[in-house]
Amino acid sequence: MTDRHTLVLEIDPSSLRAMAQAGSRTIVAKHCGDRKLVVAWLAWEPSARDTVVWEESYGLFAAGTAQDGVALRLLAVVDHAIDGALYPFSGSGFGRPQLRANIPPGHYEIQNDAPFALTFGLVQAAAINGRLRRSPMHAVGVGPGNPVDFAPMTTISVWTEGGVEIGSIVRVPPYATTITFHAARRVERCLYDPDGRRFVPAVRRRSLESERRPRPPLEWARRTPTTCMALRKRGKSCLGKLVSTSSRWRNSATTAAAAPALR
């Protein structure tokens, strides 16, 4: 049984209107290791709440020459590939998979038997708000007669950008949010942060909002002379209790150096 992962993205109405005016799209790219081109695995017009669901099962593709910012022109696709196997590509289509002992589990290998260079990679399906899409998740150019090995990763980057089409070669911007899915993290909910112009995991967003929220001033609560007299008889301090002027905040610290003198 393959692992299933879910990404939920929520955007506030004001930010959503600004994105619509700018023509921004939500982009998801899968990390692919060194020497491989990053592809816009998923790209769509955002809504207030988008849910993306996918399973870690893969296919293969062959395409023409890759160009930055241009969608790959697919020549052939294997929807469901077998890991630990080599797939020869003749130039017009993929041959039957050949199981090889030297190809570890979780790896997919393609042999370019065409007399010219081509672009190869893995494809993966995902459902965006219930609509299924299958598209390339990364790419690498391969010369004639050469093999290439792919080992998929479960790390993604998500961001918003205008003019990006699904399956196009992209560069991950510095403001993109990176998420790694694993057995203990199969579902991730992110909220859009308009200040940072990026998606933030919901737990982290709540923490940021708490840090930004202004705290009400603190004041020293005075004790009555009778209470002070009783405390001194028992050898205890008569310092007041540091409390918030708002009932939402409490601080029971009793720092003597900061306390005003009580008469």
Whether residue 251 sits in one domain with residue 200:
no
Phi, psi of 17 (to 5 degrees): -65, -40
Q: Is residue 152 part of a domain?
A: yes
Structure confidence at residue 213 (pLDDT)? 56
Query: Which token pair is 238?
Result: 């008569």
Structure confidence at residue 256 (pLDDT)? 37
In angstroms and rounded to an integer, the radius of gyration of the C-alpha atoms of the chain is 29
User: Residue 263: is its pLDDT beyond 90?
Assistant: no
Whether residue 191 sits in one domain with residue 154:
yes
Q: Is residue 263 part of a domain?
A: no
| Three-state DSSP state, 97 | coil
Structure confidence at residue 255 (pLDDT)? 39
Q: Which amino acid is at 223?
A: R
Least confident stretch, 50-59, 65-74, 254-263:
254-263
Least confident stretch, 94-98, 177-181, 219-223:
219-223
* Residue 32 region by backbone torsions, left for phi larger than 0, else alpha for psi between -120 and 50, else beta: alpha
Whether residue 240 sits in one domain with residue 195:
no
Mean pLDDT to the nearest integer, 60-85: 95
Whether residue 246 sits in one domain with residue 156:
no
Burial class (CB in 10 A: 0-12, 13-18, 19+), 131: exposed
Whether residue 99 sits in one domain with residue 189:
yes
| Three-state DSSP state, 192 | strand
Q: Is residue 88 part of a domain?
A: yes
User: How many domains would you assign to the chain?
Assistant: 2
User: Residue 159: is its pLDDT beyond 60?
Assistant: yes
Among 155, 148, 55, which Cα is nearest to 103's?
148
- Which residues are 54's β-sheet partners? 5, 126
Structure confidence at residue 180 (pLDDT)? 95
Whether residue 142 sits in one domain with residue 203:
yes
Query: Which token pair is 68?
Result: 């930055």
Q: How confident is the model at residue 203 (pLDDT cuts 50, 70, 90)?
A: confident
Whether residue 250 sits in one domain with residue 177:
no
Whether residue 204 sits in one domain with residue 233:
no
Stated pTM of the model: 0.76
Structure confidence at residue 184 (pLDDT)? 87
CA dist 109 → 33, 86, 254 (Å) = 15, 5, 67
Report d(CA 158, CA 180) in Å as an integer: 11
- DSSP characters over 128-184: ETTEEEEEE-EEEEE-TT-EEEE----EEEEEEEES--TTBB----TT-EEEE-BTT
Whether residue 137 sits in one domain with residue 20:
yes
Structure confidence at residue 33 (pLDDT)? 74
Whether residue 189 sits in one domain with residue 163:
yes
Residue pair 185/3 in contact (Cβ under 8 Å)? The answer is: no
- Choice between 227 and 196, residue whose per-residue pLDDT is larger: 196
Whether residue 202 sits in one domain with residue 225:
no
Which of 176, 194, 210 is at the close of a domain? 210
Q: Which amino acid is at 240?
A: G
Q: Is residue 139 part of a domain?
A: yes
Q: Is residue 246 part of a domain?
A: yes
Domain span including residue 252:
218-258
User: Residue 254: is its pLDDT beyond 60?
Assistant: no
pLDDT digits (tens, 9 = 90+) for 16-52: 999 999 999 999 999 987 767 899 999 999 999 999 9
Whether residue 224 sits in one domain with residue 176:
no
Q: Is residue 63 part of a domain?
A: yes
Residue pair 196/205 in contact (Cβ under 8 Å)? The answer is: no
Q: Is residue 168 part of a domain?
A: yes
Query: Which token pair is 117?
Result: 């260079």
Q: Where are the alpha helices (DSSP H) in 1-150?
A: 13-22
Q: Is residue 185 part of a domain?
A: yes
